[in-house]
């Protein structure tokens, strides 16, 4: 029996009525709202969910999925898609139900509500609306107790217990018909069955036709019955005022058969209501102790067992041909005979010593307690005590047994009561395999012991055996504490059977032999039946879900086709054949309560379910397999996404970021012990793509990409064309600069002076000097024209050109100055520099510096040096020096031209050229110094190299 209370989520101790809906959910009315139980979780509907009144007496589940709620003060409401909807009809039904809840009967999605006494109207609820049919019966001077309204015949049945009759009233014709019986007070009714209580007598009536009611059963009781229920199997339950419930285990329609004595259940609790669910499990609503639950198999075992009223904590079990002996978790036990009669044996009322092992042989029973052994004579009701710290008892011969104790192995003779010590060591298990030889087990090893010689030999090392049994000739079964089951013969281990092969647990407590190929293994997790079929092993596991009173099994014994299983909650008695023919699957489906997509929860799952990739999807599940007692999980997969089955114990299955597509969600329920629902629950849904995931958007994106790529290519080509145009423009500009350079370097005044000098030499008939002058002049003009067409020229050629120019000027100025051109060793003469860049600065040195000298000879120094990766060209004269206003004057033709040429070169060739003009008089020297700095640069187009 399972008790659900506040610790399990049933946040109420006082519960009223129980109902079950079409999906199998259990609904519980309580003083703290309405609860829904799905086998794993309690869901509460109270004030926070919208109920105006949380004192809920009952509810009525409807075929359309709605739940009609009946509070104590008639604040009627109903649940639709898990949402509370209040009806607000209190004024409409005011004073109609005599301050109590109405009687209610259902017809599909239609409910009929009416008062318990002298009803004035019948209210019809359907799809959230209420209407009424007036009852035109004249109640004057008459007090009636309402029995029921039969919507099939439109008859209202009213009870007059004071006059001993029932009135049948036809709502359509107004006809009244008195049925003369003396029924007493109505207890409960269902369909055509009525149960009345009449002065200690329970009378059961059946409606034969609209106006004929006949008594079919009577039961006399001294119990004070205050309520009753006719369950789905038409069996009667009676609730007793002082505690407990009476159960009549036969259908009430069988009128020819006398009612058998009822079973009294839960007599320590006041039970308000009983529900037999769709699977024949039984639920009990208690007044102050929550809800009790018992599975179908366990209840059937309790009701139909030949052994009654045994729920003790069993620690040991054994049998002989006529008896079964039980040892309890205290100094007591019981003997069960073949008829099922229990004989309790109280060994010591004041002792809490538990039984370790028991044994029975005819009239001799042995209870092996923790600190002593009690030999109990069943005929003489006399006991004898032996002072041993017992571990186990093993049969040896017909007249003797072996005591395995904490200090020795002792042989006990049943007839004489004498003991013989065979070995002075701690022994846990023992089993004879020949007349003189035993297997002996201690805490860690198994030995062979020869009783005659006393020789002990190690046989199997590293196994703590808790039980040993002979399966057949030279084949033995050993139960171990941690290693499952060991199958061995006198030579060694043949095979092991462990949990990974299907055994319910690896910690085995006891072995019981069924036949030469089959045995049972008891554990704290249930019991396993192991059967050898050739070389294969067939294992069947049984737990509470199969009807065991508890999973903590101390041991079992077998008699014919019946297995008696001792557990911590009493003795379970089962037909082996029926156990083995139990369903391997659970005949239930997983309920998909709703699906939440993003923030919207869908309840109507026959609609098309759609979402988007970024929407999380949650499947809210239930698997109402109550026999599994909450040990429920789900096996699921999404076909189209992943074909691998997943298992989760959570009722919420969540998926995130599912790619667009159509999918099928499939889920099985898994009950306790791994049983699976017989069929999957399937739900199709679709994940739609966002607009950027659609084919048309991808096509548009591709078109945009093509357009953008085309634009980029066109832009690149346009830039390339513009660059060519710009290059053309710069080349044109260079040509212009070259012309300006020619004009600047070979100015008319210079040519005129040169020609006058030549004329003067010719007039003086100095033909030789005139000839030299003409040679220099022509050579200079030729080189100037040549280099003006070049963008760059080597330093070596620049030095040669400057030397030719300076020689020409020396002739012109009549040797008025000297000059030097020096190229440093750090400078390669093959390096190129902008052509004709230096000559204008040399011309300025002569024109503005040297020409003004009167009292000293002029000197011009030109040097090429390399400093810190920079080429430095210096033009220095010892002339009069340049004035500051000449430096800042914008219309200075020479400086303007030179700066313009430098800027043009920088723009065209990204060459860093800087100009520095220094007045040496500021340094207490004479003349002017011009410095040109050209940074290191390598350009594929110019071939300009500086290191």
Return the pLDDT at 326.
96
Residues 777 and 631 in one domain: no
pLDDT > 70? residue 233: yes
pLDDT > 60? residue 762: yes
Rounded Cα distance, 751 and 756, in Å = 9
pLDDT > 80? residue 52: yes
Residues 747 and 865 in one domain: yes
Tokens in use for 594?
């709703």
- At 944, the pLDDT band (50, 70, 90 cuts) reads low
**How much of the chain exceeds pLDDT 70, in percent?**
92
pLDDT > 80? residue 668: yes
Weakest mean pLDDT among 135-144, 246-255, 709-718, 725-734: 725-734
614-636: string of b/e by CB count within 10 Å (b at 16+)?
Answer: ebebbbbbbbbbbbbbbbbbbbb
Residue 896's domain spans which residues?
723-934
Residues 775 and 887 in one domain: yes
pLDDT > 70? residue 546: yes
Query: Is 333 or 887 the better-scoring residue by pLDDT?
Result: 333
Return the pLDDT at 936.
62
Domain CATH number, residue 659 = 2.60.40.10
- At 890, the pLDDT band (50, 70, 90 cuts) reads very low
Residues 649 and 766 in one domain: no
pLDDT > 50? residue 947: no
Last residue of a domain, one of 648, 672, 690: 690
- At 740, the pLDDT band (50, 70, 90 cuts) reads low
pLDDT > 60? residue 781: yes
Give the full edge-to-edge strand order of the sheet including 245-247: 225-230, 236-240, 245-247, 263-265
Place of tokens 């809906």: 21
Q: At CB < 8 A and 24+ separation, what contacts does 240-245 make?
A: 240/264, 240/267, 240/270, 240/271, 241/270, 242/270, 243/267, 243/268, 243/269, 243/270, 243/271, 244/268, 244/269, 244/271, 245/271, 245/274, 245/284
Residues 674 and 759 in one domain: no
329 lies in a domain? no
Weakest mean pLDDT among 59-73, 611-625, 718-732: 718-732
pLDDT > 70? residue 737: no
Report DSSP state, residue 693. Answer: G
711 lies in a domain? no
480 lies in a domain? no
Last residue of a domain, one of 646, 665, 690: 690
Burial class (CB in 10 A: 0-12, 13-18, 19+), 693: middle
Residues 682 and 729 in one domain: no
pLDDT > 90? residue 672: no
pLDDT > 80? residue 53: yes
> Mean of the pLDDT values across residues 620-635?
93
Tell me: the pLDDT tens digits for 646-665? Answer: 999 999 999 998 888 899 99
Residues 735 and 821 in one domain: yes
Return the pLDDT at 946.
47
Contact 364, 373 (CB under 8 A): no
> Mean of the pLDDT values across residues 699-708?
88
738 lies in a domain? yes
Kindly report the pTM of this predicted structure.
Answer: 0.69
> Mean of the pLDDT values across residues 184-192?
92
- At 892, the pLDDT band (50, 70, 90 cuts) reads low
Return the pLDDT at 910.
66
Give the number of other CB atoms < 10 A from CB of residue 844: 24
pLDDT > 90? residue 912: no
Return the pLDDT at 698.
76
369 lies in a domain? no
pLDDT > 90? residue 853: no
> Mean of the pLDDT values across residues 798-821?
87
Residues 727 and 685 in one domain: no
The upper half-sphere exposure of residue 330, i.e. CA atoms within 13 Å in the direction of its Cβ, equals: 12
Residues 816 and 673 in one domain: no
Burial class (CB in 10 A: 0-12, 13-18, 19+), 304: exposed
Give the full edge-to-edge strand order of the sheet including 570-575: 553-559, 562-567, 570-575
61 lies in a domain? no
Strands 870-877 and 913-919: unpaired
Return the pLDDT at 646.
94
Query: Is 806 or 485 the better-scoring residue by pLDDT?
Result: 485
Give the number of other CB atoms < 10 A from CB of residue 398: 8
> Mean of the pLDDT values across residues 470-476?
95
- At 738, the pLDDT band (50, 70, 90 cuts) reads low
> Mean of the pLDDT values across residues 670-692?
86
735 lies in a domain? yes
Tell me: the pLDDT tens digits for 433-456? Answer: 998 999 999 989 999 999 999 999
- At 791, the pLDDT band (50, 70, 90 cuts) reads confident
Contact 45, 77 (CB under 8 A): no
825 lies in a domain? yes
Task: Collapse the DSSP code of 818 into the 3-class scheme (helix H, G, I; strand E, B; otherwise coil) and give the result.
Answer: strand
pLDDT > 70? residue 574: yes
Strands 364-369 and 373-377: antiparallel
Tell me: the pLDDT tens digits for 586-613? Answer: 899 999 999 999 888 988 888 788 888 7
pLDDT > 50? residue 364: yes
Tell me: the pLDDT tens digits for 528-538? Answer: 999 999 889 99
Q: How many domains does the chain have?
A: 2
**How much of the chain exceeds pLDDT 90, in percent?**
59
Residues 870 and 800 in one domain: yes
Tell me: the pLDDT tens digits for 171-182? Answer: 999 999 999 888
Weakest mean pLDDT among 313-327, 677-691, 778-792: 778-792
Listed in sequence order, the residues at least 6 apart from 22 whose beta carbon sits closer than 8 Å to its beta carbon are 61, 63, 65
Query: In terms of Cα–Cα distance, which of 392, 414, 390, 394 is closest to 402?
Result: 394
- At 941, the pLDDT band (50, 70, 90 cuts) reads very low
409-438: string of b/e by CB count within 10 Å (b at 16+)?
Answer: bbbbebeeeebeebbeeebbbbbbeeeebb
Give DSSP secondary structure letters for 429-475: EEEESSSSEEEEE-SSEEEEEETTT--EEEEEES--EEEEEEEETTE
Residues 778 and 892 in one domain: yes
pLDDT > 70? residue 926: yes
> Mean of the pLDDT values across residues 76-88?
91
Residues 684 and 729 in one domain: no
* Helix orientation angle between 695-745 and 767-787, rounded to the nearest 10 degrees: 170
Domain CATH number, residue 851 = 3.30.565.10
* Mean pLDDT over each residue of the chain, to the nearest integer: 88
Query: In terms of Cα–Cα distance, which of 261, 232, 267, 223 is closest to 1?
Result: 267
Tell me: the pLDDT tens digits for 1-19? Answer: 899 999 999 998 789 999 9
pLDDT > 50? residue 78: yes
Return the pLDDT at 891.
45
Tell me: the pLDDT tens digits for 237-272? Answer: 999 999 999 999 999 987 667 888 999 999 999 999
Contact 808, 776 (CB under 8 A): yes
Return the pLDDT at 303.
80
């Amino acid at each position: 029996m399972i008790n659900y209370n506040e610790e399990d989520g049933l946040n109420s101790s006082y519960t009223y009525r129980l109902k079950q809906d079409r999906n199998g959910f259990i609904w519980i009315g309580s003083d703290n709202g309405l609860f829904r139980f799905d086998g794993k979780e309690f869901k509460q509907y109270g004030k926070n969910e919208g109920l105006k009144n949380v004192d809920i007496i009952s509810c009525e589940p409807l075929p359309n999925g709605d739940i009609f709620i009946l509070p104590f003060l008639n604040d009627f409401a109903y649940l639709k898609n898990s949402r509370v909807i209040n009806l607000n009809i209190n004024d409409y039904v005011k004073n109609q139900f005599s301050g109590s809840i109405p009687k209610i009967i259902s017809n599909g999605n239609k409910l009929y509500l009416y008062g318990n006494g002298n009803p004035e109207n019948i209210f019809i609820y359907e799809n959230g609306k209420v209407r009424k049919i007036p009852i035109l019966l004249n109640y004057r001077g008459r007090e009636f107790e309402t029995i029921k309204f039969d919507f099939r015949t439109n008859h209202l049945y009213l009870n007059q217990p004071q006059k001993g009759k029932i009135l049948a009233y036809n709502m359509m014709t107004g006809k009244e018909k008195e049925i003369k019986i003396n029924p007493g007070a109505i207890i409960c009714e269902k369909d055509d069955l009525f149960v009345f209580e009449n002065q200690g007598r329970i009378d059961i009536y059946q409606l034969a036709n609209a106006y004929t009611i006949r008594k079919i059963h009577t039961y006399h009781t001294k119990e004070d019955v205050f309520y009753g229920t006719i369950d789905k199997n038409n069996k009667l339950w009676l609730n007793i005022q002082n505690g407990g419930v009476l159960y009549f285990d036969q259908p009430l329609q069988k009128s020819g058969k006398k009612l058998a004595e009822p079973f009294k259940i839960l007599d320590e609790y006041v039970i308000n209501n009983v529900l037999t669910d769709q699977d024949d499990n039984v639920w009990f609503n208690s007044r102050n102790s929550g809800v009790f639950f018992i599975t179908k198999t366990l209840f059937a075992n309790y009701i139909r067992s030949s052994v009654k009223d045994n729920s003790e904590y069993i620690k040991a079990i054994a049998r002989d041909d006529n008896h079964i002996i039980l040892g309890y978790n205290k100094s007591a036990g019981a003997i069960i005979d073949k008829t099922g009669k229990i004989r309790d044996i109280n060994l010591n009322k004041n002792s809490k010593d538990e039984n370790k092992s028991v044994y029975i042989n005819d009239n001799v029973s042995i209870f092996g307690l923790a600190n002593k052994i009690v030999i109990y004579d069943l005929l003489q009701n006399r006991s004898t005590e032996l002072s041993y710290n017992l571990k186990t008892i093993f049969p040896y011969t017909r007249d003797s047994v072996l005591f395995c104790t904490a200090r020795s192995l002792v042989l006990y003779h049943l007839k004489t009561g004498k003991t013989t010590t065979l070995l002075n060591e701690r022994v846990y298990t023992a089993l004879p395999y020949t007349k003189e030889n035993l297997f002996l087990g201690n805490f860690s090893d198994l030995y062979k012991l020869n009783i005659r010689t006393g020789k002990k030999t190690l046989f199997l090392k590293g196994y703590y055996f808790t039980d040993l049994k002979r399966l057949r000739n030279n084949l033995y079964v050993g139960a171990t504490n941690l290693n499952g089951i060991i199958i061995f013969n006198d030579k060694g281990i043949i095979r092991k059977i462990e949990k990974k092969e299907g055994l319910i647990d690896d910690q085995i407590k006891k072995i019981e032999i069924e036949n030469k190929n089959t045995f049972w293994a008891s554990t704290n997790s249930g019991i396993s039946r192991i059967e050898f079929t050739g070389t294969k092993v067939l294992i069947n596991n049984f737990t509470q879900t199969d009807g065991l009173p508890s999973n903590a099994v101390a041991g079992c014994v077998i008699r014919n086709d019946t297995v008696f299983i001792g557990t911590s909650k009493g003795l379970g008695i089962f037909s082996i054949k029926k156990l083995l023919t139990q369903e391997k699957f659970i005949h239930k489906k997983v309920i998909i309560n709703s699906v939440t997509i993003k923030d919207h929860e869908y309840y109507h799952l026959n609609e098309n379910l759609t979402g988007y990739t970024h929407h999380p999807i949650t499947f809210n599940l239930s698997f109402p397999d109550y026999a599994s007692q909450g040990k429920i999980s789900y096996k699921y997969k999404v076909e189209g996404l992943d074909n691998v089955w997943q298992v989760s114990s959570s009722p919420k299955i969540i998926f995130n970021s599912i790619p667009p597509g159509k999918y099928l969600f499939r889920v099985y329920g898994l009950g306790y012990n791994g049983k699976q629902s017989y069929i999957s629950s399937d739900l199709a849904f679709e994940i739609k793509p966002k607009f950027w995931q659609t084919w048309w958007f991808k096509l548009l994106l591709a078109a945009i990409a093509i357009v953008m790529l085309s634009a980029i290519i066109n832009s690149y080509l346009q830039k390339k064309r513009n660059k060519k145009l710009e290059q053309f423009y710069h080349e044109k500009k260079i040509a212009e600069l070259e012309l300006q350079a020619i004009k600047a370097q070979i100015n008319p005044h210079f040519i005129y002076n040169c020609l006058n000098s030549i004329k003067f030499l010719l007039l003086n008939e100095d033909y030789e000097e005139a000839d030299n002058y003409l040679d220099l002049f022509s050579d200079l003009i030729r080189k100037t024209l040549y280099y003006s067409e070049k963008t760059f020229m080597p330093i070596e050629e620049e030095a040669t050109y400057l030397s030719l120019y300076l020689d020409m000027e020396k002739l012109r100025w009549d040797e008025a100055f000297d000059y030097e051109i020096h190229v440093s060793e750090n400078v390669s003469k093959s390096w190129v520099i902008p052509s004709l860049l230096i000559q204008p600065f040399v011309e300025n040195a002569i024109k503005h510096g040297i020409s003004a000298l009167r009292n000293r000879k002029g000197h011009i120094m030109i040097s090429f040096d390399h400093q810190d990766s920079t080429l430095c060209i210096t033009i220095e004269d010892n002339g009069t020096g340049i004035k500051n206003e000449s430096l800042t004057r914008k219309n200075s033709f020479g400086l303007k031209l030179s700066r313009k040429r430098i800027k043009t070169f920088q723009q065209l060739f990204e060459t860093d050229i800087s100009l520095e003009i220094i007045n040496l008089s500021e340094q207490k020297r004479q003349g002017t110094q011009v410095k040109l700095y050209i940074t290191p640069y390598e350009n594929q187009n110019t071939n300009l190299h500086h290191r």
